[in-house]
Structure 1
Amino acid sequence: MEEPSLPWLLASLTASPSSSQLFRGNSVSLSCEDGGGAAGWTLKRNSSEGGRSQCGTYWGRPEGSTCHISFILTSDSGVYWCESSDGETSNTVNITVTGGPVILQSPVLPVMEGDNVTLHCGTRTPPSDLPAAFYKDGSLIRTEPTGHMTIRHVSRADEGLYRCDISGQGASPPSWISVTGEPTTSATPTSAAPPPPSAQLHLMFSLVCHLMVICLYCISTVLMVSLYRHRPAAWTAGNYVPVSIVMTPPTQAEQRLDEDHADVITAVTTEYHF
């Protein structure tokens, strides 16, 4: 079965062989596949006997971003992960090492919802296709004549603790199988559902109200412009009414008076000079 990718992580940890259970003395290679972003990945683990440590201290042989364990021991059982120099971490892998005669070969990574998963109940020595009974959370699922059980179209309900039992040989340790949801990248967008009738009526009412307000604004603007253009002439000078002065010609009496006045001024002026 192809291991699911983990695109949301900077790196993903894979195991070869891809089995959550191994016999004592088997070999395994754990690789940190860089997804881009962080550098300097180191394989680390947390075991019940050795605590937290990294590859190359007293277990494993580091080779780039891969750690090789040529002869695995029961003390190597534990949780493994990749860690960068920046403190970023990958997914975790739980490996169980047994000295018993039977193991349950199950995926080390979470299986994708909808995929088919095959479990194999194997023995240390041939033959490896003996009839086996498979259990989930302590309850018998079914017995398979060749030691292989396939779960088709897995769902969240298939998540749980699995083990197998071969008559006359023994039982395997239990292993947890996780199920993850389908990737969202392949999902196609769906069209939005139409609004209910009440929402449509409310929308129409709001539209009519807005149109009425706009119409009233336009009408008031036109009226104001029209009144301004046809305003009285008196408004043009700051509300002051222009005053016109009409000059009327003098009467004969006024002309005669002016002439007498002029003669008097001339006489006075002549007397003053002499």
Structure 2
Amino acid sequence: MEVTALRLMINMWLLLQVQDNYCALKADAAFLRVTPARLQHFEYKSVSFDCEGFDGELGLRVMKKSQNANTCSTNRNIQKGSLCTIETVYIDDSGEYWCETGDGKKSDTVNITVTAGSVILESPVHPVKEGDAVTLRCKNKTASSTISASFYKNGFLIKNSSADNMIIPSVSRSDEGLYRCSVSGSGESPQSRLTVRVFQKETIAICSDQLPVLLYLFVRIVGTMLWAALLLLVLRKRDSGKDRGK
């Protein structure tokens, strides 16, 4: 009986680990995909938005914060299901975009900047994980070869690079901030925020629909352990009584 109870406890622990990993993946999977994968874009180029990780959700669409209506769909945009493509972006297309389901579930927002200038900063679209390597790249609209660039954080120069990129080998929360870059003779990019997160698994908040199953298994295991303990107590008393009768 002790072996049976131990096996049930091990199975419960394994189930919780699988559930924990599943919930964490479920949380990270739902997001807005941007193509090209950057926060800044040149005017007159094409940009696409798509919702990923919302399997089976009804009424899923890309939204944009605006004064009139929060939707990516306009007369000049092409929206097919959750995919919204802006064939020619303008400065007015700058702003916050997100995914939203028919019942109101939302992804994190992504703040897009469209510029008429000649320089943009290519930086991660979504928050990066603490400890990861991050590359910031300065892109010149008119240059066909590698350029040298200067990089700024929160308005202060942090690096002059002979290449078009700056690498942060192991990003930390202290690296969060507003970044921009400049190219001599071509101008500078707008600012975009780099966000660093310490990702933690929040299984209860994300996977609350699985709690009844886990609660049932927990109660069953506790009940089995109590039943096994009671049975062992009865058997020991019986054996003790037999020994006294000899």
Query: TM-score interval w.r.t. the shorter chain?
Result: 0.5 to 0.7
1:134-180 CA-to-partner distances (Å, cap 9, x unmatched) read 00011111111111111111010000000001111101101111111
- The 8 Å contact of residues 14 and 33 in structure 1, kept in 2 or not, is answered as yes
Matched, 1:135 2:152: yes
Aligned to 1:154: 171
1:182 to 194, 199, 203: 199
- Alignment partner, residue 125 of structure 1: 142
Give the structure 1 partner of residue 57 of structure 2: 38
User: Who is 1:108 aligned against?
Assistant: 125
Q: Secondary structure at the match of 1:122?
A: strand
Matches of 2:134 and 2:103, distance apart in 1:
35
Deviations 1:208-259 (A, max 9, x none): xxxxxxxxxxxxxxxxxxxxxxxxxxxxxxxxxxxxxxxxxxxxxxxxxxxx
Percent identity between the two aligned chains: 45
- Structure possessing the higher radius of gyration over alpha carbons: 1
- Runs of 5+ unmatched residues, structure 2: 1-23, 203-246
How far did 1:13 drift?
0.6
Counterparts of 2:127 and 2:155, CA distance in 1: 21
Task: Report what 1:61 is aligned to.
Answer: 78
Bigger relative CO (Cα 8 Å, ≥ 6 apart):
2
| Partner residue in 1 for 2:35 | 16
Structure 1, unaligned runs of 5 or more: 186-274
For residues 88 and 29 of structure 1, the distance between their equivalents in structure 2, rounded to whole angstroms, comes to 21
Deviations 1:67-109 (A, max 9, x none): 1111111110000001111011111111000001111011111
Q: Distance in 1 between matches of 2:187 and 2:53?
A: 40
Matching residue within 80, 102, 108 for 1:91 = 108
The one-letter code sitting in structure 1 at the alignment partner of 2:34 is A
Q: Comparing both structures, which one devotes a greater share of its residues to helix?
A: 2
Amino acid at match of 2:165: H
Residue in structure 2 matching 1:171, options 188, 192, 195: 188
Gap change, CA 1:6 and 1:120, over 3 Å in 2: farther
Whether the 8 Å CA contact 2:177–2:195 is kept in 1: the answer is yes
The alpha carbon displacement at 1:36 in A equals 3.8
How many residues are treated as equivalent by the alignment? 179
SS at match of 1:176: strand
Choose which of 39, 48, 72 in structure 2 pairs with 1:29.
48
- The equivalent of 1:196 in structure 2 is none
